[in-house]
Homo-oligomer: A and B are copies of this chain.
Amino acid sequence: MRDGERELIRSIRKRASAASSKSLALHTGIGDDCAVLNLSSKEEMLVTTDLFLEGVHFRRGWQTAHVAGQMCLTRGLSDIAAMGGRPVAVFLSLACPKGTSRRWISAFVGGVTELGEHYGAPLAGGDTAAAPEKIIADIVVIGAAPKGEAVLRSGAKSGDRIYVTGTLGGARAELSRLLATKAKAEVRCALPQPQLEAGQKLRGVASAMIDTSDGLSVDLAHICEESRVSAIIEATQIPIAPSATLEDALHGGEDYQLLFVAPRNRRVPVICYPIGEIVPRRKHLVLLTDGKKAKPLPQLGWQHRI
């Protein structure tokens, strides 16, 4: 336990040692009570926090430690992308049970830090503890966006077109395959990439945006709820991932694409698929049409996110 903790601290410190000199924003990183960050006075700060729990969000038998670390941070980076922001710094709270191997810890932290640094956000701090049973991680990403330009969920207007930046259902299809075959996915073939570049290009274009972390049916309902509108999406227009079904694409989470709406005549500067349109608020938040008849689409994805 203590050995594991020491290794964890060493691993995080080593990875983060050069972080403060690499980042203009990061004044003081690991080795003080708080990290000290400086943003430009033209920017506002974005904050997101995501739990990543063994047995809930990942399994040691399914993902390598390095891939698990990348998955963990992808959750947070995707939230920054969904606001049109740039990531600035990453904080990792990690608790490991007795007996967790040094190799696993080091590879997990490596997955987090390498992905963070790839997108310009060094590991700047966190906390460690002994876990009673399973590995517990909580990832915090601090980001920045020009003042007043962060894209919220609440700006969708009736008549806006609805778009998604990539195929959906891939993560759920893979989960089904893993559950069915009990296979060990040493390398996850299609690790989702957080859509940070697309998100930044959509600032000033998208009237509302969210990432598809909980599933299309749930995430689109969030936009509708916050914007006080409803949405009609067309079954034939939804981009379904290879090996996934329409059900997977409608209700599967963790694809980390961007789901956004923009005025009908607005040119959209990223590769994306139009999947429907925003309508005035109705009884149901989201409707699915086959081209003839629109039916209410229930929210069947994960709904635990706040």
Contact = CB atoms under 8 A, between A and B. Distances in A.
Interface of A: 5, 9, 12-13, 27-28, 30-39, 41, 44-51, 53-57, 79-80, 82-83, 85, 89, 91, 93, 95, 124-134, 136, 138, 140, 142-143, 145, 147, 150, 152-154, 209-211, 226, 303-306
B127 A49 contact: yes
A51 B306 contact: no
A268 B36 CA distance: 25
Number of copies of this protein chain within its complex? 2
Contact of A47 (B34, B44, B129, B226): B34
A53 B136 CA distance: 10
A44 B138 CA distance: 24
A132 B50 contact: no
Contact of A133 (B124, B132, B140): B132
Contacts of A127: 49-51, 138, 305-306
A191 B197 CA distance: 47
A147 B27 CA distance: 10
A35 B50 contact: no
A18 to B, nearest CB: 16
B304 A129 contact: yes
A217 B13 CA distance: 21
